[in-house]
Structure formats: structure tokens, C-alpha cells
Amino acid sequence: MLERILRLAIILGILAALYIAYWKVRSSSRSDADEPPPWRDSRVLVLAAQVAALGLIWSAGDYLWANFRARTSDIGLELDFGFLDQPSGISIADNPLNSNAAIREALIQGVKNTFLIIIVGIPLAVILGTLIGIARLSTNWLLSKIATVYVEFFRNIPVLLVIVLTWTIFLNAFPPVRISWLPFGETFIFNNLRFGFPSIVGGNNFGAFQVIVLLGLLAAVAVWIWRSRLFDRTGTPHHRVLYGLGTLVAISVVGFVALGGPFDITTPEIIDRVYVGGITMIMPYAAVMIGLVLYTASHVAEIVRGSILSVDKGQVEAGNALALNSFQRYRFVILPQAFRVAFPPLINQFLNYTKNSSLAFAVGFAEITGVIQNLFGQSRPAPQLLLILMVVYLVFSLVLSAIGNLINRRLQIVGR
């Protein structure tokens, strides 16, 4: 290391000496030039500082890389990605992949599981957090105190603890499989291994029905736009939610009847220890997701509260003067303005949520971090796997913040 830096310093010194000599020659040949000497010339100094910094970073990196290569070749570690096609030797809960499937497939399944935590949890966290944030500002003393206790509790304990605590409570609160809790006439299944919910299963013409629903959705959007335009032009109440949903439901029902019942509702059942029908999730997934939602909601609630408080008091008073009730006041006056303020910090919370989903392995849910930790246990090459892990999270972060920034740009008022 020291040797390297010394060598670098010598090279830089020679370069500097050459440049000074060049400057001397030039300034003596052109007597009218009032160029400063190199050690006072900001252009030269800027360049020199950057070359020095680059040299330092480069030599440090090179040094670490040399150590790394020496150590990895000592223990005979190959630094390629050929191992991705080998059988993984791990099995993932709730997944047809067995231990003979390639590592590549196990990793893809891990990414999918991470995505499942994110895509279900973030909307739930936003909804719960918004409700609690509003509750904190309620005039009802009890409601606002309960919301405050909730926020202060979850904000001040580690997220890992929240997840493990949720998991422990689920484990103790739900019965074992053989005496599963079957509420609502056996349409749900809850036990300490798995939760089951009713779902739909496609029958004849299900593909055609999906197309019809999609068309219905397009029609609903068209109706929505038509009602909005009408409202803008004539001022008649638009009722666009009512009209839009009505269009969608009407078209779907017509399609359902015309195609002769293209899908059925199935309820989950346990037949010979196998879950049949419905949609089921393993308990750790539910625990992780709910734990993360509870934790993130406490942060979202604070953001929402702050953004509501940031809305000008005159807006609320104007709403009162127009005789809006408290729901209308929130829906049409306060929340649209507050949301604009709340959105940038919310993006930050989404990113935190994504990163915190990496703690799911603590309760045995195999998302990407869990899969990779399992693979470490199989003594698979750590450097490559860790690189994959970090790249996956960086991609998730980048995509989320890109989407967030896009929405944010649409939200902000232009020209203020």
C-alpha cells in the first residue's frame, strides 16, 4: 500500500515538475503574459486535486482487489457465475421448486417473494398510516390519544422486533392445523402455519371474460372522462365514481351472464393435509407483511399529520364557510393539498419499506435475502451472491424512486 502511494507520488511529482518547467519557459518567452504560477492557477489546482483523488481511490481499490484475489485463490473460490445453474439444495416454502432446481430459479423465486411483500404491503401501509394520521388530529380525545400511543410505540422499537413480535403473536394466537379456525361458515382458514381466503377460479370462457372486463374498464375510464368534461363545461354534478363503477359492473355482469358463468368462487379446504381451493398464504408471509405495515404506518401517520397541519388554516375555514361536512372537507380541500406535501417523504418511506423487507428471513420467509442466506449456508460463493443481492435492492430502490419522482412531478403545482 505504502509502496504504491509512494510510486504514485513520485509520478505526480515528476508531472508537476514538468509542468512548472513548461510554465517557466512559456512565461519567459512571452513577457506580457500575466498568467499566475501553476501553484496559484485554479485550473491547474483543480486538475491536480482530481488526479490525486483519482489516484488515491484507484490505488486503494487496486490494493483491496489484490488482497481479495489473493485470499479467494487461497481458498479456491471461483469468481464466475457458473454456479447459478447448479442445483440449489434448498427448498422454498409454498413453492413447487425443490432442492434440485437451479440456483438461478431459487433466486428468481426470492425476488418474486420480495415483490409480493412490497406490492401488497405498501398500499396497506399508506391506507393505515393515513387513517392513523387523521385520527391523531381528531377532536375526539380518546381517538387521538390512541393514535398517538400507536405512533409512539411503533416508531420507537426496531422493525426487526416488530416483525418477530408479530410472528410470535400469530404463532400463539392462531390454533394448530388440526383445529384450524374456520370463520364465516368455513370460507376462511386460519391456523398457525397458513391462512386461506376465498378466491375465484376460472371455468369455461374465462379468457373471454377477462377481455370483457378489460373492455369494461376502458369504457369506465371513457365514462369518467365524459362526466368530468361535462362537469367542467356545464357544472352538472359529475358523479364520476358512481357512473364509472356502474359502467364497469354492468358490463361485467352482462359478460358473466352471457358467457354462462365463466368463474366460480372457491373456498379453501384442507383435504388430507393438502390445501385445496381458495388462495392461501404461509403464516410467516402474513407476519412479515403485517409487521412491516404496522411499523411503516406509524411513520406514514407522522408524515400525513405533518402535511395536514401544513395546509393553510384559511382553507379549512373556507371549507367550513361553504358548509362542507368534515368528510367533504378532508376529501376535497385538505387531503388533495396535504398529499402534495406528503408525497416526497412518502417515497422515502416506500424505499425504507423495501429495504426493511429484507428482514423477512428472521421469521423464515424466503424472500431474496432469505434465499441468499440459505445459499450461504450451502457454502455457495458469497461474493457473487452478495453482489446479486445488492443489485436487486438497488434496482428495486431505483425503480421505486423513479416511479415516485414521476408521480411527484405530476402532483406538484407548476409555476409557483
Partner 1 sequence: MTDTAKAKESANLAPLHSDTTPAKWVKNNLFNNIMNSVITVVLGVVVVFLVVQSFGWIAGEEWEIVRVNLRNFMVGQFPSDELWRLWTSAFLLIGTFGIGTAAMAHNAYDDANEKGLVAERPSLLNLLARFWPVLAFVALMVSFSETLPPVVGVIAGVGAIVASRLVGWALPASIRSLAVPMMAIGTIVAMAVLAGTGGLIAMSAGVVALVIAASGLSRRFEGSDPKSMAIRTGGPIIIGAVTLVIVNAIGFDGFGWEDWGGLHLTLFATVVGIASGMPIGILLAIGRRSELPVIKGFCVVFIEFVRGVPLISLLLFSSFILPLLFPPSVETPETLTRAMIVIALFSAAYIAEIIRGGLQAVPKGQTEAAQASGMSAAKIQRLIVMPQALRAVIPAMVGQFISLFKDTSLIATIGVAEFFQFAAIANSQPNFLGKSLQLVTYSIIAVGYWSFAYTMSKESRRLEAQLGVGVR
CA terminus-to-terminus distance, the chain: 54
Does the protein bind partner 1 through residue 39 (CB under 8 A)?
Answer: no
Does the protein bind partner 1 through residue 331 (CB under 8 A)?
Answer: no
Does the protein bind partner 1 through residue 386 (CB under 8 A)?
Answer: yes
| Residue at 86: amino acid letter | Q
Give, in order, the Cα–Cα distances in Å from 273 to each of 147, 179, 187: 41, 12, 17
Closest CA to 295 of 404, 158, 172, 127: 158
Restricting to residues 158-197, which ones interact with partner 1 according to CB under 8 A?
Answer: 158-161, 164-165, 168-169, 171-172
Does the protein bind partner 1 through residue 67 (CB under 8 A)?
Answer: yes
- Which residue in this structure is represented by grid cell 487496486? 62
In our burial notation (b when 16+ CB lie closer than 10 A, e otherwise), range 219-241 reads ebeebbeebeeeeeeeeeebebe
Does the protein bind partner 1 through residue 397 (CB under 8 A)?
Answer: yes
Least Å from the CB of residue 380 to partner 1: 11
Q: What is the DSSP string of 258-292?
A: HTT--EEEE--EEETTEEESSEEEEHHHHHHHHHH
φ, ψ dihedrals at 323, nearest 5°: 65, 35
**For partner 1, which residue of 27, 59, 72, 199 counts as binding (CB under 8 A)?**
72
Query: CB neighbours of 83 closer than 8 A, spacing ≥ 6?
Result: 103, 380, 381, 384
Least Å from the CB of residue 396 to partner 1: 9
Nearest residue (CB) to partner 1, 70 versus 271: 70
Binding mask 341-380 for partner 1 (x = CB under 8 A): --------------xx-xx-xx------x--xx--x----
φ, ψ dihedrals at 349, nearest 5°: -65, -35
**For partner 1, which residue of 6, 14, 50, 312 counts as binding (CB under 8 A)?**
50
**For partner 1, which residue of 46, 127, 200, 242 counts as binding (CB under 8 A)?**
46
State the Cα–Cα distance between residues 126 and 356, nearest whole angstrom.
Answer: 16
Give, in order, the Cα–Cα distances in Å from 318 to each of 90, 164, 329: 62, 47, 9
Does the protein bind partner 1 through residue 139 (CB under 8 A)?
Answer: yes
State the Cα–Cα distance between residues 365 and 288, nearest whole angstrom.
Answer: 8
**For partner 1, which residue of 152, 186, 264, 317 counts as binding (CB under 8 A)?**
152
Question: Of 17-25, 67-75, 197-205, 265-273, which segment contacts partner 1 by CB under 8 A?
Answer: 67-75
Least Å from the CB of residue 145 to partner 1: 9
Q: Which residues bind partner 1 (CB under 8 A)?
A: 46, 49-50, 53-54, 57, 64, 67-68, 70-72, 74, 138-143, 146, 152-153, 155-161, 164-165, 168-169, 171-172, 355-356, 358-359, 361-362, 369, 372-373, 376, 382-383, 386, 389-390, 393-394, 397-398
